[in-house]
Amino acid sequence: MTNNSIYVNPLCDRYASKEMQEIFSNDNKFITWRKLWIALAESEKELGLDITDKQIAQLKAKATNINYDVAKQRELEVRHDVMSHVYAYGVQCPDAAGIIHLGATSAYVGDNTDIIVMRQGLLQVKKLLLNTIYALYKFSDSYKSITTLAYTHFQSAQPTTVGKRATLWLNELLMDLESIDNTIDNLHLLGCKGTTGTGASFYELFNGDYEKVKTLEKLIARKVDFVKVASVSGQTYSRKLDYMVLSTLSKIAQSAHKFAGDIRLLSHLKEVEEPFESKQIGSSAMAYKRNPMRSERICSLSRFVIVNAENPAITSASQWFERTLDDSANRRISIPQSFLAIDGILSLYINIISGLKIYPKIIEKHLNEELPFMLTENILMDAVKKGGDRQELHEVIRKHSIDTIRSIKEEGKDNDLLERLANDSSFNLTQEEMKTIIKNPNISGCAIIQTTEYLENEIKPILEKYKDLLGCDIKITV
């Protein structure tokens, strides 16, 4: 059977990076299982159980050499993945076979590994997110002075700047960064709670010494680089943690979808263009097309992540008492795939914003087409200063605006509202005064100042704090 004759997950084949795939690989999973078994044995030995240095040395010698063939064959017989790997490890370490997994239940390796791997995934996402923030920071700073139309309801509103608009995208990513940090800080190791969370097997092993049961968890946590262990649990950690993690990924997907949606709209206006390779084909039928396909892909993958966050919500709600197993198959799919999709999303985000082409002349053209309407308030105020009646002048502007819009839409004419107003004696403004109003340098309000302050006061300190995480090699394969 060839690779082309079986289904291949496109998240791995097309979108996610090698780094994220390695985090959720079988090697990382089962090597972590073995690290946890070693941590358990070492800690039990330190607390007085009859485990030898020779046994632990044997376990360590085979920690990364997984005999998958033995484990797979064993699972066909016993239908239990953890016990299959306990057996396979014991085959490699015959002197230690009797003390592997001593006192533990399946969740000891399964759940603790899931927590460890999710933290690794979140740290990788954090690195990508910080590099996205850095790319947006440079973009916003470069274009903070280019005036452009702002839109409400995708209808022309008041001017802003290209850089100021980018701070809106940045601000959402800043919220996501805070959410990631909170999530990482609240990931507690399950520890070794036993079959129903009471620690009964370890209580028995240590002859009723509760302090040793508690110390055992602390020792194990320290060996796998965790500080906090769940205070109480059933056999498994609360599945609400999975929802917390995937909700954080969903927030990032929401931010990315909004960014990509804006880029798609701006691409339609021909004001921006995402990176387009020299031999890239935009359409099989229309050779001239330059579709914003990477932004569209962000939206597509983001929808998947947003919807996928419902999986752990339902799982958390439907857990019975101290544990059920209806969560297992779902979690094997939903958790890794959300991480793989977010990895692809942020890689695309960095690629797009780093190579986004801006067309100032088109931006200026669109601005000038709508500018006369936007300047009417300034004209009104200046006319009032010269003795005009505000209400009467407002009505004059309204009528001229309606006539102008009609001529634009019905006759395809240019926007001549300013000429109409300049020629209306009601305003008592000379041509020179009208030109002065039109050339008002503050047309985009505080946009440039706001952008400068935001980048300096809120973004730069974060980039400085995490400067060691900046810089990543992004590869977009399709």
Question: Is residue 394 annotated as a catalytic residue, yes or no?
Answer: no
Q: pLDDT at position 248, please?
A: 98
Name which of 78-87, 236-245, 273-282, 301-310 the model is least confident about: 273-282
Query: Does residue 449 register a pLDDT over 60?
Result: yes
Among 153, 231, 278, 284, the active-site one is 153
pLDDT digits (tens, 9 = 90+) for 120-138: 999 999 999 999 999 999 9
The average confidence (pLDDT) of the chain is 92
pLDDT at 286: 47
CATH 1.10.275.10 residue window(s) in the chain:
16-99
284 is catalytic: no
Q: Is the pLDDT of residue 268 over 60?
A: yes
- What whole-number percentage of the chain has pLDDT above 70? 95
Specify the range with the lowest mean pLDDT, choosing from 152-166, 230-244, 284-298, 325-339. 284-298
Where, residue-wise, is CATH 1.20.200.10 in the chain? 106-275+288-360
Least confident of 57-66, 399-408, 435-444: 435-444
Tell me which amino acid residue 128 is.
L
Give yes or no for residue 416 having a pLDDT over 90: no
Identify the band that residue 282 occupies on the pLDDT scale cut at 50, 70 and 90.
low
pLDDT at site 72: 96
pLDDT in tens, 182-203: 999 999 999 999 999 999 999 9
Tokens of 251: 């927030």
Q: Please, which pLDDT band fits residue 3 given cuts at 50, 70 and 90?
A: low
Q: Which CATH superfamily is domain 376-438 in?
A: Fumarase/aspartase (C-terminal domain) (1.10.40.30)
Query: Whole-prediction pTM value?
Result: 0.91
Q: Is 21 exposed, middle or buried (0-12, 13-18, 19+ CB in 10 A)?
A: middle
Residue 279, pLDDT score: 52
- List all residues 6 or more positions away from 217 whose beta carbon is below 8 Å from its beta carbon: 189, 191, 192, 229
Q: Which CATH class is domain 106-275+288-360?
A: mainly alpha
Residue 227 predicted with pLDDT over 90: yes
pLDDT higher than 50, residue 229: yes
Q: Which residue has the higher pLDDT, 383 or 467?
A: 467
- Cβ burial 399-433 (10 Å sphere, 16+ → b, else e): ebbeebeebeeeeeeebbbbebbbebeebebeeeb
Least reliable range by pLDDT among 376-390, 397-411, 463-477 = 376-390
Q: What is the pLDDT of residue 275?
A: 87
Residue 284 has a pLDDT of 45
Residue range(s) in the chain whose domain bears CATH number 1.10.40.30: 376-438
The predicted structure's pLDDT at residue 370: 85
Annotated catalytic residue within 80, 142, 268, 283: 283
Report pLDDT for 288. 47
Dihedral angle over CA of 286, 288, 293, 295, nearest 10: -140
CB 375 within 8 A of CB 167: no
CA–centroid distance for 136 within its chain: 14
pLDDT, mean of residues 413-438:
79
**Domain 16-99 class?**
mainly alpha
HEC per residue, the chain: CCHHHCCCCHHHHHHCCHHHHHHCCHHHHHHHHHHHHHHHHHHHHHCCCCCCHHHHHHHHHCCCCCCHHHHHHHHHHHCCHHHHHHHHHHHHCCCCHHHCCCCCCHHHHHHHHHHHHHHHHHHHHHHHHHHHHHHHHHHHHHCCCCEEEEEECCEEEEEEEHHHHHHHHHHHHHHHHHHHHHHHHCCCECCCCCCCCCCHHHHHHCCCCHHHHHHHHHHHHHHCCCCCECCCCCCCCCCHHHHHHHHHHHHHHHHHHHHHHHHHHHHHCCCEECCCCCCCCCCCCCCCCCCCHHHHHHHHHHHHHHHHCHHHHHHHHCCCCCCCCCCHHHHHHHHHHHHHHHHHHHHHHHHHHHHCEECHHHHHHHHHHHHHHHCHHHHHHHHHHCCCCHHHHHHHHHHHHHHHHHHHHHHCCCCCHHHHHHCCHHHCCCHHHHHHHHCCCCCCCCHHHHHHHHHHHHHHHHHHHCHHHCCCCCCCCC
Q: Is the pLDDT of residue 277 over 70?
A: no
Radius of gyration of the chain (CA): 31
The set of residues, in sequence order, having a beta carbon less than 8 Å from that of 266 and lying 6+ positions away, is 272
